[in-house]
Homo-oligomer: A and B are copies of this chain.
Amino acid sequence: MNVVSTVDPRDGRRRATDLTETDESRLEAIAGQASRAARWLSGLGRLGRAEMLDAIAASLESRRVDLVAAAEAETGLSDARLDQELTRAAVQFRMFGDVLRDGGYIEAAIDHAADTPLGRGPDLRRMLVPLGSVAVFGASNFPFAFSVAGGDTASALAAGCPTVLKAHPSHPLTSHASAEAIGSAVRDMDGPDGVIAIVYGEQAGRSLVRHPTICAAALTGSVGAARAIQAAIDERADPIPFYAELSSVNPIVVLPGAAVDRGDQIAEGLFTSFTGSAGQLCTKPGLAFVPSDPGGEHLVDALRGRIASAGGAVLLNERIRDAYENQAAAFERAGARVSARSQVHPGAGFTVAPTLLEVGLPGLTAEIADECFGPLMVVVRYRDVAELDAVLATVPPSLTGSIHRGPGDDAGIVRGLVELLAARSGRIVFDGYPTGVRVSWAQHHGGLWPSTNAVHTSVGATSIRRFLRPLAWQDAPEWILPEELRDEYTAIPRRVDGRLESGVQ
């Protein structure tokens, strides 16, 4: 059996772990346990699963020091960032507890029997039920919040779906410790093995999504990883839904009025947004459109100053480091010039130099309007806001589009730009930055391909919808209905004979 190794990206040293890659017989056992755990999760009911999610949050927090230390050694991310990310993971589990207690997510609907233009209509009752076991591929860039203890897991478990994680190869020990934290909370509730499980190794990931008991898959990762997983899914006789959150350029438009009004502040904001977490965020702004006027020049100058004095940034692994260097070089070859680059003292780890590139219109080619994962941003200088209409249509669809407005900026122009950004983004940010994704009911973290597969979100309360399917009961006797569909049950929002009732709690 292949031993799983781990690398500290700060020095590049690889060491063996006690973990081994998951072979076919172990995968079979895990898939079987997951299937059997579905009944326990369902038996808990909504309120029982809410308690379970709260217990998981508490379990993660009780192991905070160890988890953060494990993640720091495997990712090179700062203690402060990881500490906050662990809080975020706990917040996500607790939010889904609230979602379950609210109960609106099951979309309960009752149509009583009635005469219709098509004759007598039967009594129909519909709600969403768990889809079944879910495969989740942990992200590279969030060892907690988009990984084993991440939002995909939280939303799948909330839905009632046993979850099998494919651990990211760059944080096996953090993944293992996270699964232990979740598993321990489940065991304390007398839950079975299989509610949460973890597999290691690329082959195990492929076998996982081909396994007949797996009913959906989710990934936060690259377009390449998504295509490989889709190819494995395509080998199945039965297609399954695959939710992928992938690549994003996240354009930011700074209008001339904003540059004049608060150029220094925006420079600071852009700098923090594109270099934070070493730029390894799917919401990192990759393109900033800044006017070619004195206000814009002042802003870019301030930005250059910040970058010049910044240190190096540690990327997660060799592959990401190499891709960063290659992508930066490709942008330069395509005509972007280095506007500022920080000083880096060469070391053994995966340290790179945060970089600001610059290009004038019409120099923004398709090569440059592409994601570069890591601390790089391209400033695109424009002379006239009217130029932006055509240019924004060439930027690939993104998770976000942002716009900074100032006192002098015309409302009609803002409206036009927002319409363009809305057509190609999942979230429009006003006078702010796309990083820092709020975990809440109204969040949407998705967008048109290649940012995600469009119709669902991977962050926020509604991400639970990915792991649910509708089920309808026709003329069912009351005693066999789930309690949420019985006439007298009014604790949750339901649509009864077409009218929404908000639920009495």
Contacts and interface: CB of A to CB of B under 8 A. Distances in A.
Interface string A125-158: 1100101000000000000000000000000000
State how many copies of this chain the complex holds: 2
A95 to B, nearest CB: 9
Interface in A55-93: 84, 87-88, 90-91
Contacts of A102: 498, 500
B98 A498 contact: yes
B477 A430 contact: yes
Nearest to A452: B469
A20 interface: no
B438 A121 contact: yes
A475 interface: yes
Nearest to A425: B471
Contact of A446 (B431, B455, B468, B470): B470
B118 A426 contact: no
A111 B426 contact: no
Interface in A300-356: none
Interface stretch (A175-183, A362-370, A411-419): A411-419
Interface residues of A, number: 84
A448 interface: yes
Interface in A399-434: 411, 414-415, 418, 422, 425-432
Contacts of A498: 98, 102, 440-441, 461
A48 interface: no
B442 A126 contact: yes
A432 B475 contact: yes
26 contacts: A87-B118, A88-B118, A98-B498, A111-B440, A116-B440, A118-B439, A122-B429, A122-B432, A124-B442, A129-B422, A240-B449, A241-B454, A414-B480, A422-B471, A426-B472, A427-B473, A427-B474, A428-B471, A428-B473, A428-B474, A432-B475, A442-B472, A443-B472, A444-B470, A456-B470, A493-B502
